[in-house]
Amino acid sequence: MRITRVAAVAAAATLALGLTACGGDDGSSEGTGAGSKSFAAGSTMERLNKAQAIKIGTKFDQPGFGQKGLSGKPEGFDVEVAKIIVKELGIPEDKIEWVEAPSKVREDVIVNGTVDLVAATYTINDKRKERIAFAGPYYEAGQNIMVKKDDTAITGPDSFKDGTKKVCSVTGSTPAETIKQYVKDVATQLVLFDTYDKCRDALKGGQVDAVTTDNVILLGYIAKDEASFKLAGDNFTKEPYGIGVKKEDTDFRNFINDTLEKAFNDGSWKKAWDDTAGKFGAELGAAPTVNRY
Amino acid sequence: MNVLIDKFDVFAGGFWLTLQICLLAAIGALLLGAVVAVLRISPVPPLRAVGTAYVNIFRNMPLTVVMFFAAFGLPALGSNADFLRLPGLDAVFNRLGTDLPYFRFALIALVLYTAAFVCEALRSGVNAVPPGQAEAARSLGLTFSQNLRHVVLPQSWKASVVPLGSVIIAMIKNSALAGFFGVVGDLAQTADQLTSAEGFAFVPVAIGISIGYLIMTVPLGALLDRIEKRQAVAR
Amino acid sequence: MSRQTSVLYDVPGPRQRRITLVSSVAATLLLLVGAYFLIYRPLDDKGQFSMELWGPLIDPSNENFSQVWDRLGLGLKNTLIAAVLAIVSSLVVGTLLAVLRIQLKSLTRRRFVGFATPLAYLLRGLSVLLSAVTRVCVEVFRGLPVVITIFFVARGFPEFGVSFDTLWYLVIGLTIYNSVVIGEILRSGMEGLPGGQAEAAAAIGLSPLQSTRMILLPQAFRIMLPALISQLVVVLKDTSLGFIISYEETLNIGKQVIGVLENPIQVYVVIAVLFIAVNYSLSKLAQYVQHRLSRGRKTAGTPAQNPPPAALMSQAEGAGGPI
């Protein structure tokens, strides 16, 4: 059980550093710098800590989770969770290189080594586990449908079965694949864009009748424009968000799981939520149980 | 390689959809381009200005931007491009009449964009007609429109064929962008779908998609080469 | 152009001038009224002219103005970097390709006398094969949409264990397509030169490669310069395809800005204006160069009065090239 020992050492190191740095609330410099933490030789954690640099894949266009705004830096819940992990690795926040990882390339960038980890509203599922590995989950979303405020005809995914209602989603995303099972005729009912704001604009303009994706994303749009949109019914899938890492890198995965568990307990996870997606009025719920497989 | 056989219907469907866009857009662009070309050489200054402005705007904008304006600007103008739901035509081109307007939007974008180049190709043809022809026609007392119809255009047509063909080839290739603006199931979007969402091996999909486009572009290019060579000899 | 317009109709007399004036006024009015009812009114009804949407883009006192333009400036910079890299590498590769194809063509005609018979056949077969291979490559890459080429590069290279920054995927994708186009422009330029040029070069003892390098290529460049500049416009427009592979060029950054400010139409209008301004100046430059060249040629009395028909074609294709 080398892993737990490493984690224990890491935890002890943080604790010690936390004690020495007591009173200083400058979180970004706390416990960082090469060699400030010790990791098992040859592990990904050691490599990253030594290099004092990390590449993280996230979305740049997902309000509340990972959105690159006017500042040129991504902001959101995924970004904050990633920062918690990076801090635990002993790397300062400004050494993170953010790489855009849209839905369709997420596995590729992990497998190719373009990034060290992916936090990008990344649903854990078995098909993806064939190519990569997931730590977490750190949040559980569910697919839902957003319609216009005055729409009563769409009540859930089954409303698309009669072949008249038009729905929009994003190319290569899980929700797009899921909704295909409910749609009668893809050619006349389904529209795919590269971002969800295009879907929202299409819904507002009346070109489509519904937008479908994870509830938290939709809640973000509804929070901004409550007069126009609402959710139609309940979530019809479970989408546990995980952190994607290389398939064979079990050490790193366990390290992230430990870090997440720690964040669940010490309140930093909740704070990350409250500062970002929590503003949209979505429930955080109880901390999920990380799945160590 | 199995994906080419297993998903043959998907490839074929994508090919057919791309072909539909291209056929309709080619017709539209040739018609609109001819109108713009006439505007550009017309005797009425404001019309000439409109023609010139049209060409300069659409030739210098990336098609991506034109596509965007068609897909999101037209709805803002309150139009779903329903005027393109031509009865009869949508029996063959089934996407034309659907409630989803994005096929029509992509079509409009392609037509608007390509028309600027069609206009330039036609104009280069008109320029190739020796000025003496038009002068002779004028001295016979033909008006502007008679001059164009009976003397200049029939001759310029020959010199325009090759550049026009190149414009159409370019348009076929440009149609690949439609898949990124809400037209589900064309060749380009099929490539994206199969490799990204359904996780098929990349190389066979790439080969399948390439064949789809090359079937459309290479024979047309070869035909143009022949025409060009024959014209060169005739000259 | 003024010559062209006057050729098609008579110089207007007083009556015709009156008619033209009246119809001009009528046409202008019609256009304005049409624009007002079909474009201005619906947009105004939807509040698309509000300063809330336009402010961050055009009002320097707006709180977001400087940040928005910092971002757009970065996008423009990235667009230009990609465009410059792509055009330079396309020019280099395209020139090499044109020379290669010309050389191979002359090789296939060579009989290889002085070699042993089987070797001569082998060499001839080899040169025919190589010539065919380059031909096929040119046809394939010219026939594929540049979107697809970029997409294939970005997805295919990592598949074979080669990974770069997205910038390089974009540059490679653009280079593959544009070098083939430029190669064809130059080749048709060289083939369009009068045969006497190559013959004279051979007569003074230049090797085929020397004659291409010193005699044919410089002339082809000169004749084809306008076509090459319009190809530059094409490359600049094509960089906008970077959004497909997450390269942060102008349009992609525009998309990010839209995600925050929610003013898609306004941002795209600004981007369109930027592109039109840059590309319009480039095409004016092309026209100017063409003008200069045609004047120079007349006085110098060099043989090629008109670019060969192939030049016209590639020019049209260049200008009409993908996006």
Cα separation of C171 and C31, whole Å?
42
Question: Tokens 């572009």 appear where?
Answer: B217
Cα separation of A137 and A256, whole Å?
10
- Flag whether residue C64 sits within 8 Å of chain A, measured between CB atoms: yes
- Pick the most confident of A51-65, C103-117, C286-300: A51-65
Mean pLDDT lowest for which of A138-152, B48-62, C60-74? C60-74
Compute the C-alpha angle C198/C203/C209, nearest 5°: 50
User: How would you classify residue C120: left for phi > 0, otherwise alpha for psi between -120 and 50, otherwise beta?
Assistant: alpha
Residue ranges of domains in chain C: 63-320
The answer to whether the CB atoms of C320 and B41 lie below 8 A apart is no
The mean per-residue pLDDT over the stretch A61-68 comes to 84
Question: Which chain B residues contact residue C321 at CB under 8 A?
Answer: 170, 173
Q: Which chains touch C (3 or more CB pairs under 8 A)?
A: A, B
pLDDT at position C321: 38
At A34, the pLDDT band (50, 70, 90 cuts) reads: low
Cα separation of B96 and B90, whole Å?
5
Which of A174, A207, A209, A211 would you mutate first to test chain B, the one with the most B CBs within 10 A?
Answer: A207
Distance, in angstroms, between A193 CA and closest chain B CA?
A: 6
Cis peptide before A74 (omega within 30 of 0): no
Question: Which chain C residues contact residue A60 at CB under 8 A?
Answer: 246, 256
The mean per-residue pLDDT over the stretch B201-216 comes to 87
Phi then psi dihedrals of residue A28, to 5 deg: -70, -30
pLDDT at position C320: 37
**With the C-alpha atoms ordered B100, B103, B109, B112, is the resulting torsion angle positive or negative?**
negative
Residue B126: partners with Cβ closer than 8 Å, 6 or more residues away: B37, B41, B152, B153, B156, B160, C4
- Report whether C240 contacts C173 (CB < 8 A): no
Which of B196, B200, B202 would you mutate first to test chain A, the one with the most A CBs within 10 A?
Answer: B196
- Pick the most confident of B14-28, B179-193, C221-235: B14-28
Question: Amino acid identity, residue B172?
Answer: I
pLDDT at position A26: 41
pLDDT at position C311: 39
Comparing C-alpha atoms, which of A154, A160, A153 is closest to residue A176?
A160
Question: Which chain B residues contact residue C255 at CB under 8 A?
Answer: none
Residue B114: pLDDT above 90?
Answer: yes
Please tell me the total number of residues recorded for chain B in this structure: 235
Give this complex's ipTM. Answer: 0.84
| CATH architecture of the domain formed by A143-231 | 3-Layer(aba) Sandwich (3.40)
Cα separation of A267 and A261, whole Å?
10
What is the share, in percent, of chain A residues with pLDDT greater than 90?
Answer: 10
The CATH code belonging to domain A2-140+241-280 is 3.40.190.10
Residue C30: pLDDT above 50?
Answer: yes
Sorted by where each starts, the structural domains of chain B and their CATH numbers stand as: 2-234 (1.10.3720.10)
Question: Which chain C residues contact residue B175 at CB under 8 A?
Answer: 145
DSSP H or E run through C209: helix C208-211
What is the share, in percent, of chain A residues with pLDDT greater than 70?
Answer: 87
Helix and strand totals (H; E) in chain A: 11, 13
The strand pairing partners of A67, in sequence order, are A61, A75
Question: Which chain B residues contact residue C272 at CB under 8 A?
Answer: 61, 65, 69
Question: Which chain C residues contact residue B63 at CB under 8 A?
Answer: 237, 322-323
Question: Tokens 């266009």 appear where?
Answer: A61
The mean per-residue pLDDT over the stretch A135-144 comes to 88
At A2, the pLDDT band (50, 70, 90 cuts) reads: very low
Residue B11: pLDDT above 50?
Answer: yes
Cα separations (Å) of B135 from B158, B160, C68? 19, 20, 56
Distance, in angstroms, between B38 CA and closest chain C CA?
A: 11
- Report whether C212 contacts C103 (CB < 8 A): yes
The answer to whether the CB atoms of C312 and B163 lie below 8 A apart is yes
Phi then psi dihedrals of residue B77, to 5 deg: -85, 5
pLDDT tens for A143-198 read: 999 999 888 888 888 888 888 888 999 887 788 888 888 888 888 888 888 888 88
Comparing C-alpha atoms, which of A211, C74, C22, C139 is closest to residue B217?
C139
- Flag whether residue C71 sits within 8 Å of chain A, measured between CB atoms: yes
Q: Which residue has the higher pLDDT, B40 or C315?
A: B40
The answer to whether the CB atoms of B170 and C321 lie below 8 A apart is yes
Question: Which chain C residues contact residue A207 at CB under 8 A?
Answer: none
How many contacts, defined by CB atoms under 8 Å, are there between A and B?
Answer: 65
The answer to whether the CB atoms of A166 and B100 lie below 8 A apart is yes
pLDDT at position B1: 59
Question: Tokens 């024959």 appear where?
Answer: B230
The answer to whether the CB atoms of B182 and A202 lie below 8 A apart is yes
Q: Look up the pTM and report it.
A: 0.84
The answer to whether the CB atoms of C259 and A108 lie below 8 A apart is no
Question: Which chain B residues contact residue A180 at CB under 8 A?
Answer: none
Cα separation of C4 and B130, whole Å?
10
Task: Residues C63-320: name the CATH superfamily.
Answer: MetI-like (1.10.3720.10)
Cα separation of B71 and C268, whole Å?
12
Comparing C-alpha atoms, which of C297, C303, C52, C85 is closest to residue C179?
C85
Cα separation of C175 and C100, whole Å?
17
Residues 216-235 of A with CB under 8 A from C: 224
Q: Which residue has the higher pLDDT, A253 or C3?
A: A253
Cα separation of A6 and C232, whole Å?
57
Question: Which chain B residues contact residue A208 at CB under 8 A?
Answer: 100
pLDDT tens for A96-124 read: 999 888 887 888 888 888 889 999 888 88
Beta strands in A16-151 (DSSP E): 54-58, 61-62, 66-68, 74-75, 96-100, 117-118, 132-141, 143-148
Residues 139-198 of C with CB under 8 A from A: 155, 158, 161, 163
The 3-state DSSP class for residue A21 equals coil
The answer to whether the CB atoms of C237 and B117 lie below 8 A apart is no
Q: Which chains touch B (3 or more CB pairs under 8 A)?
A: A, C
- Report whether C136 contacts C164 (CB < 8 A): no
